[in-house]
Amino acid sequence: MSTFVLRRHSVLPGFGIALGVTLTYLSVIVLIPLSAAFIKTATLSWEQFWNIVTAPRVVASYQLTFGASFLAAAINAVFGLVVAWVLVRYRFPGKRIVDALVDLPFALPTAVAGIALTAIYAPNGWLGRYFELAGIKVAFTPLGVLVALVFIGLPFVVRTVQPVLEDLERELEEAAATLGAGRWQIFRRVLFPTLLPALLTGFALAFARAVGEYGSVVFIAGNMPMISEITPLIIITKLEQYDYTGATAVAVVMLLASFALLLLINYFQWLTRKHNATT
């Protein structure tokens, strides 16, 4: 009987070995490097740690980094859904080219993206000159940081939502239409509840990528202290000054804040799936 139960629960051959390799790999790649940051920070006293992570310049970088990342992920959640909808539901000339362009931020080196965005949105750039005429300055401002984060985060939402849209059954929409539901009612009550978990996942991925982004932001930001300086740049600056404990202290704050926000987003995602399952 015990042998039968053991075989019944051994879903994968060599599960114990595979699990051991997985945990070892994750420890080497993820846990050990992250724990090193905590260990290095532990050499500071609480007062030293607090003074480093609450310095006005560092706090200003937190506000810009997390605020711009959250706003960029929210923008991508809206427009990423629109892009995914168009790619799945419509046929038009050049569709494959548009679909390939979505992945361009994945393939493009971040430094190249930053230089390109800066050249375009600079006061004398192709688009920047027109914004300048309207009194809007994009490059070398927090708005430029937002533009860069939107650019690098869009594919995460599109590629997360797109497969869910492709798997949606058209019969549900047709049934709702025959019952008298309008387009907005069908989208709000039939489609959106199914898409919401994937949309939250894409939002979380875009947010996580934006928080740690450096290469595409550092060029267009202008890096003015208290105005357009992101937290990753603070960490790089401290490392260049050989202030390793200060850099790891700021990195630990970023890590804990990012983990807490992602945990909260995943919790909302779980609630959404639970609600959809019960209804």
pLDDT in tens, 40-79: 898 889 999 999 999 999 999 999 999 999 999 999 999 9
What pLDDT score was predicted for residue 5? 47
Give the tokens for residue 88. Answer: 């799945």
For residue 14, name the pLDDT band (cuts at 50, 70, 90): low
Give the separation between CA 49 and CA 24, rounded to whole angstroms: 31
Q: Which fold has domain 36-278?
A: MetI-like fold (1.10.3720)
Instruction: Calculate the CA 34 to chain-centre distance.
Output: 19
d(CA 78, CA 199): 9
* pLDDT bracket for residue 13 (50, 70, 90): low
Highest mean pLDDT among 100-104, 183-187, 270-274: 100-104
pLDDT at residue 153, as a whole number: 93
How far apart, in whole angstroms, are the C-alpha atoms of residue 205 and residue 156? 6
**Is residue 1's pLDDT more than 50?**
no
Confidence of residue 12 (pLDDT cuts 50, 70, 90): low
Q: Where are the domains of the chain?
A: 36-278
Q: What is the rounded CA–CA span in Å between residue 51 and residue 49?
A: 6
14: left (phi > 0), else alpha (psi -120 to 50), else beta?
left
What is the pLDDT at residue 159? 93
> What is the band of 2 on the pLDDT scale with cuts at 50, 70, 90?
very low
Pick from 139, 159, 132: nearest CA to 224: 139
Give the chain's mean pLDDT: 86
